[in-house]
Chain A
Amino acid sequence: MAEMETCLTDITMQFPGTRALDRVSVTFRVDEVHGLIGENGAGKSTLVNILGGSLPPTSGSIAIGGESVRLKSPRDALLRGIAHVSQEGSLVAGLSGAENILLGAEPRRAGVIAAGKLRNDAAALVKRWFPQVVINLAEPVASLPVADRKVIEIVRALRGDIRLLILDEPTATLPAREKEQLWSIIRSLPRQSVGVILISHFLSEIKALSDRITVLRDGRHVVTEAAGRLSESQLVDLMLRRSGESGKSKEQAAAAARAEGAVALSVKGWRAGRLQVPQFHIRAGEIVGLIGLTGSGHFGFARSLYNPAGVHYESCEVGGRAVALHRARTMRDMGVALVPDHRMENALIGEWELRENLAMVHPQHAVLTTGVLSRRREESEAQRIMRLLNVKAHSSAQQLNTLSGGNKQKISIGKWLYGAGNRYKVMIFIEPTEGVDVGAKAEIYAEMRRLAGLGVAILIASSDLIEIETMADRVIPFVNQAAGPELTRAQFSESAFITAMSGESA
């Protein structure tokens, strides 16, 4: 049996400031679909990235078929029989299904790609693995249904001698009617001696497809158990940390006090692409949470409020004033701030000093009447923000790149506090504690509460449900690009969130 197993033993992954995995041991078999679940940040992606060869673990060992191995690159992992089909998809849109399946391994005749043989070989591969599937391999994949594209990706992944296939949220972007096909494909793989590691937010899917299920929480292994022995609600309990009950009632009282402020931002008839929000408002001092599954529109809505490329709306008012020309600059000048996700791409400049990063939005604060930027003034304001947010750095001249995730996030927030006075009425946070360690997380929460206490309307779009539960006064779940019925604090529970996010009635 050992030759059919892939064993991870005591895998630890240490990132600067966070431990993504802490001595995790799991065994994956070739005759099973193995569900891997956990909240965002629980360590699922890190684990499969290590297994897929794109991330070397800090410590721990991997054994495949009883032989200890080191996976140095995705190519290395492939040669060992491990393939990874990522959530985003990796097909070349302009090429046909057949060309995508044999990308990089095209049959050649006299140095030229043999088009006929390529079509036949690709078709044969599809037939070998999934005889029941009918798929158009001649069309550019961009014009195919999403499920067909997923199948093509899977067939390509199976091109080599694969024993373990990692599927990351394979059905996240699929319309319901296309899911069935993919499900049957996933189920057929273990019968052909290809084990599947399935990552999915849909617990019903995990339950239906998996033979065994592993639960991760905060980078630790919680349990690995036969799927039949765990109910969905048990899975939810295992995924979520059960703590923080004590502070709740106090927060509830504070929330009630905040809920009566004036409307800070309101929109009507908001459309951005497929996203539709008929009505939304947030009051001064209120903390509103947006939740949803990947691609359901909660992040998209938060982003579109600030950077509205392709947005149509009936009305949009900030502090009672109608927004005329709606773009990032206008929103900023009307008093809306955005602390975006992926801070290094969207908010910060890694090569810059902390001081310069902090001064990015309002450098005017340090301008003297002569028009000169005063270093001294900039320095003292930067120091003030760094003290306010407890940024751990040896000086404001330190390069941003050298900070830990939590401190970077504090700078990303601090940008909007530097030289801002009380100008911001609304602050939008997207994944505010993404890649942030526990200590900094608490400080960021405290800062959000302080701002809310000052009358700033706080909008949080997050995939961290505990975060939403602790912070929000009310929650709007997004399902399939539309805002669902709002949840008030009395209705809060993580299982209620998950139910609301999956669009199933409670």
Chain B
Amino acid sequence: MTSTSAGTAPSRDLVLGIVRKDHVQRYSTVVVLVLIFLIFAATVDRFLQPQNLLNIAQQISILTIVGVGLTFGFAAREMDLSVGFAVGLAGILVPLLLTKDVALPLALLAGIGAGLVIGGVNAALVTIVGIPSLIATLATASILFGISFILTGGRAIYGGLPEAYLWLGQGRVGGVPVLAILMLIAVIVAWFVMERTVFGRYIYAVGGNRKAAELSGINVRGYRIAALVVCAVFATVAGMLLASRLGSGQPNAGERYLLDGLATVFIGMTMLRPGTATVVGTFFGALFIGIINNGLNLLGMDTYIQSIVKGIIILTAVAVVSRTTKLNLL
């Protein structure tokens, strides 16, 4: 029993019409993903093997963590273009500290601290100075890139990384990659915060209608700051895990996570709540990209083709989002 009103609903047909249209919008991306999965399953030999599916999980976990961070930003209608280099910076800062014999917990805390600082600077530029996040974070991205190279002199950091650290990115628990477990924890926690707490509700309100949020007495500035800080912290966590998986700190390794991360969010925005970034949507976006990359890999396509396919997917997703809802990022 969902009917609430003493009066009659506007018009039965119309209501049904809305519901149907709604469902098409909400779930068509999932349908496409299932279709792609089935096509790969039917055409690619090793695709369905459990080992390969676990590989996919491992491959998308770092991307998912970046994407989930971006989701907080997008939900508050803030775009963070510095996540790629935030991943990169944390991915050399932590190995660098570890090779200098800093204790592992301390090094990991330093990585998270870097996220707080990056997010804090981004947020200050956006909410205090008043620069649109798209532009402010583009500039901080450039600064982070420079810092990464100064820290390493442009060289990778090899060797001397403790086992416990490498276990995070390479280890398995009962055959399941640790990374995949960490990803699931991140997704579940983020989903819970966004969908089941007042904090998440306010973040969505700030992104949904800033003026209305302000006039409802919501601390708009505070939640914009929070969104950008969460975004940067997720990126640096992803960076620490990335260096662990690679077994080395590579100053360039984070770069691709900006575009891929944005792609996961855009794909996610086509579903569930069309036009709004959601944690579950982003997770599906990462799965989408992971499955396609993996399938194309197994088919022997080189990375250039993958890059083109990815570009087309992003364009399609953004086109769907901006045609069905108002996509307002600046």
**Chain B residues with CB under 8 A of A386:** 4-5
Whether the pair A391, B212 counts as a contact (CB closer than 8 A) is no
The yes or no answer to B217 lying at the interface (CB within 8 A) is yes
Among listed B7-15, B62-70, B94-102, B234-242, interface-contacting one: B7-15
**Chain B residues with CB under 8 A of A338:** 215
Among listed B113-121, B194-202, B303-311, interface-contacting one: B194-202
Whether the pair A371, B197 counts as a contact (CB closer than 8 A) is yes
CA gap between A356 and B205 in the complex, in Å? 9
**Chain B residues with CB under 8 A of A347:** 212, 215-216
Whether the pair A372, B7 counts as a contact (CB closer than 8 A) is no
Scan A224-249; emit 1 where CB is below 8 A from any B CB, else 0.
00000000000000000000000000
Given A351-B276, A394-B15, the answer on whether A340 and B5 have CB atoms closer than 8 Å is: no
Whether the pair A363, B201 counts as a contact (CB closer than 8 A) is yes
- How many residues of B sit at the interface, in one of the four size bands? 35 or more
The yes or no answer to A72 lying at the interface (CB within 8 A) is no
Q: Which of A329, A349, A395, A397 contacts B208 (CB 8 A)?
A: A349
Whether the pair A367, B198 counts as a contact (CB closer than 8 A) is yes
Whether the pair B197, A387 counts as a contact (CB closer than 8 A) is no
Decide if the interface of chain A is mainly helix, strand, loop or mixed: loop
Whether the pair A394, B196 counts as a contact (CB closer than 8 A) is no
Task: Please provide the chain B residues from 193 to 233 with a CB less than 8 Å away from any CB of chain A in the complex.
Answer: 195-198, 201-202, 204-205, 208-209, 211-219
The yes or no answer to A345 lying at the interface (CB within 8 A) is yes
B198, closest chain A residue (CB): A363
Whether the pair B196, A373 counts as a contact (CB closer than 8 A) is yes
Task: Please provide the chain B residues from 256 to 279 with a CB less than 8 Å away from any CB of chain A in the complex.
Answer: 273-276
CA gap between A352 and B201 in the complex, in Å? 11
Whether the pair B9, A394 counts as a contact (CB closer than 8 A) is yes
**Chain A residues with CB under 8 A of B15:** 394, 398
B209, closest chain A residue (CB): A349
Q: Which of A307, A349, A383, A393 contacts B215 (CB 8 A)?
A: A307
Scan A304-319; emit 1 where CB is below 8 A from any B CB, else 0.
0011000000000000
Give the most central of B18, B202, B274, B325: most A CB within 10 Å: B18
CA gap between A393 and B6 in the complex, in Å? 9
CA gap between A371 and B2 in the complex, in Å? 26
Whether the pair A372, B197 counts as a contact (CB closer than 8 A) is yes
Whether the pair A328, B215 counts as a contact (CB closer than 8 A) is yes
**Chain B residues with CB under 8 A of A333:** 217
Whether the pair A356, B216 counts as a contact (CB closer than 8 A) is no
Whether the pair A349, B212 counts as a contact (CB closer than 8 A) is yes
Whether the pair B212, A346 counts as a contact (CB closer than 8 A) is yes
CA gap between A367 and B198 in the complex, in Å? 8
With both chains docked as a complex, state the minimum distance between the C-beta of B205 and any C-beta of chain A, in angstroms.
6
Whether the pair B201, A348 counts as a contact (CB closer than 8 A) is no
CA gap between A352 and B209 in the complex, in Å? 10
The yes or no answer to A207 lying at the interface (CB within 8 A) is no
Given A393-B4, A395-B2, the answer on whether A373 and B197 have CB atoms closer than 8 Å is: yes
**Chain B residues with CB under 8 A of A359:** 201
Sampled A-B contacts (10; CB under 8 Å): A328-B215, A328-B216, A332-B216, A340-B215, A347-B215, A351-B273, A360-B216, A363-B201, A367-B197, A394-B5
Residues on B lying within 8 angstroms of A by beta carbon are 2-10, 15, 18, 22, 195-198, 201-202, 204-205, 208-209, 211-219, 273-276, 325
Per CB-CB distance, the 3 closest pairs between chain A and chain B, nearest first, are A332-B217, A349-B208, A395-B2
